[in-house]
Amino acid sequence: MIILFWITVGIGGLWVFLFTKALFELRDIPHVHPAEGASWGPLPKVSVIIPARDEEANISNCIQSLLVQDHRNIEIIVVDDNSSDQTAAIVANFCKMDKRVRLVKITELPAGWTGKCNAVHQGVVQGQPTGQWLLFTDADTIHSAQSISAPLLAAIDRNVDLITIIPHLQAESFWERLMQPTVAALIALFNKPAKINDPDSPEVFGNGQFIMVRSQIYKKAGGHAAIRGKVLDDTELVRAVVAAGGRMFLALGRDLFSTRMYVNLAALIEGWAKNFYMILESKLPRVVLAVSLAVVMSLWPALVGLGSMAALLLGARPWPSGWLWAGVAIYFLVMIFQAILRGVNRWYPAYTPFAPLANLMAVYLLVRSARLHRKGRGVTWKGRVVFDDQERTDGS
């Protein structure tokens, strides 16, 4: 019992350290905010490429938000990837209203390609973008009026070849608001912007919801053809650009655009099964560490704290009263820390009391993702079974 008590105290001390460290790191994370105006005169043309498969619920809002950008020198190429709904028809209506919008329709998925890589590749090949910069974004994103000009200015000012932005996570259902912040926090633990933005660091990270890259370096890196079989296409594209001599920059851009990734629990499970393991670089030690952190840092304080409260209310004394009150205090301290971190990240702090459940679910999602990928069974996404090219090669 003494050992369990001191483990709990140690976890509380670790939370104090990690919370303080997280606040300092958040202060230093680069942000891209809406700009007051163009500091470089006329900005270069940007070609926006949007892969869309069965996106009738999202594509209209996405295109509308892009058409009202303050940077007018853009073109929008939407690739309808064999949709079974009204996606193509909706885009076709936009094409009639604004000549900057073009539609590319594809029906075939070549062997060895993932669906998204093929769609984006065909957007470049068939769409023939003319912008000096390419912006790859998803159909489930909604952009502010400066979501193109502000990152473009930031990239020019910093003299980088690729900029990738982290959005505001829009969530409406209970499971979204519960799970999305927890998964995002676990991913953030292993992808520190300071290290990723260091030119001497081998670590890279890309957010496929927003990757803006110079056309010239994109072509030099081989484009999406160079990563045709990769499930985690965003990070692999950044890796290819860096390998080709390009410089990248990762920043927060919560005021620039938002995304609602998954609309219910089933979609959330399917989506994170596709990506979660690979975002942790398909490394079992990272999976074990992430699972351990979820259990130790969230589930343990909750079990001890709630158990201590129950014991005090029922008059039971499995531990001395001072120990029980310490367990309760540590639990509430952890809750306060989690609420603050959720609040500063706009991660729905009202859902903090359910954090232990969220971490339990995150463990399930990560283990599920690792198991599916390591067994070479592939994952299902939008009606397709998706394999990473490494899984095709060795089945591991």
Residue 30: predicted pLDDT = 93
Residue 388: predicted pLDDT = 67
Nearest of 171, 274, 257, 255 to residue 212 by alpha carbon: 257
Residue 138: predicted pLDDT = 97
- Same domain for 125 and 136, yes or no, is yes
- Same domain for 66 and 22, yes or no, is no
Q: In the sheet that 141-143 helps form, which strands lie side by side, from edge to edge?
A: 141-143, 257-259, 168-169
Those residues with Cβ within 8 angstroms of residue 266's Cβ, 6 or more apart along the chain or in another chain: none
Q: What is the DSSP string of 137-156?
A: E-TTEEE-TTTTHHHHHHHH
Helices 2-28 and 300-314 meet at what angle, rounded to 10?
130
Token pair listed for 228:
């045709």
Query: Residue 220's CB: how many other CB atoms inside 10 A?
Result: 16
Burial class (CB in 10 A: 0-12, 13-18, 19+), 384: middle
In a domain, 22, yes or no: yes
- Same domain for 281 and 304, yes or no, is yes
Residue 281: predicted pLDDT = 76
Q: Which among 247, 263, 279 is the end of a domain?
A: 263
CA 28/CA 221 separation, integer angstroms: 30
Contact 51, 120 (CB under 8 A): yes
In a domain, 383, yes or no: no
Q: What is the pLDDT along the chain (396 residues), one digit of tens a residue?
A: 688 888 899 999 999 998 998 888 888 899 998 875 544 568 999 999 999 999 999 999 999 999 999 999 999 999 999 999 999 999 999 999 999 999 999 999 999 999 999 999 999 999 999 999 999 999 999 999 999 999 999 999 999 999 999 999 999 999 999 999 999 988 888 888 989 999 989 999 999 999 999 999 999 999 999 999 998 999 999 999 999 999 999 999 999 999 999 988 999 998 888 888 888 877 888 889 888 888 888 899 999 999 999 998 888 777 788 888 999 999 999 999 999 999 988 899 999 999 999 999 999 999 988 888 887 666 676 777 776 665 544 443
- Same domain for 163 and 284, yes or no, is no
- Same domain for 343 and 253, yes or no, is no
- Same domain for 351 and 272, yes or no, is yes
Q: Which among 263, 291, 308 is the end of a domain?
A: 263
Contact 32, 256 (CB under 8 A): yes
Domain hosting residue 248, numbered range: 46-167+207-263
Q: How many domains does the chain have?
A: 2
Q: In which residue are the tokens 């799970």 written?
A: 179
End-to-end CA distance of the chain: 42
In a domain, 396, yes or no: no
Q: In which residue are the tokens 């065909």 written?
A: 122
CA quadruple 78, 387, 276, 242: dihedral positive or negative?
A: negative
Residue count of the chain: 396
Alpha carbon distances (Å) from 248 to 40, 42, 150, 200, 238: 20, 23, 16, 12, 7
Those residues with Cβ within 8 angstroms of residue 285's Cβ, 6 or more apart along the chain or in another chain: none
DSSP assignment letter at 31? B
Q: Which among 216, 247, 263 is the end of a domain?
A: 263
Beta-bridged to residue 79, according to DSSP, are 51, 104
- Same domain for 253 and 363, yes or no, is no
Q: Which helix (H) or strand (E) holds 196?
A: helix 193-196
In a domain, 200, yes or no: no
- Same domain for 355 and 291, yes or no, is yes
- Same domain for 154 and 14, yes or no, is no
Phi, psi of 188, rounded to the nearest 5 degrees: -65, -30
Helices 2-28 and 321-344 meet at what angle, rounded to 10?
20
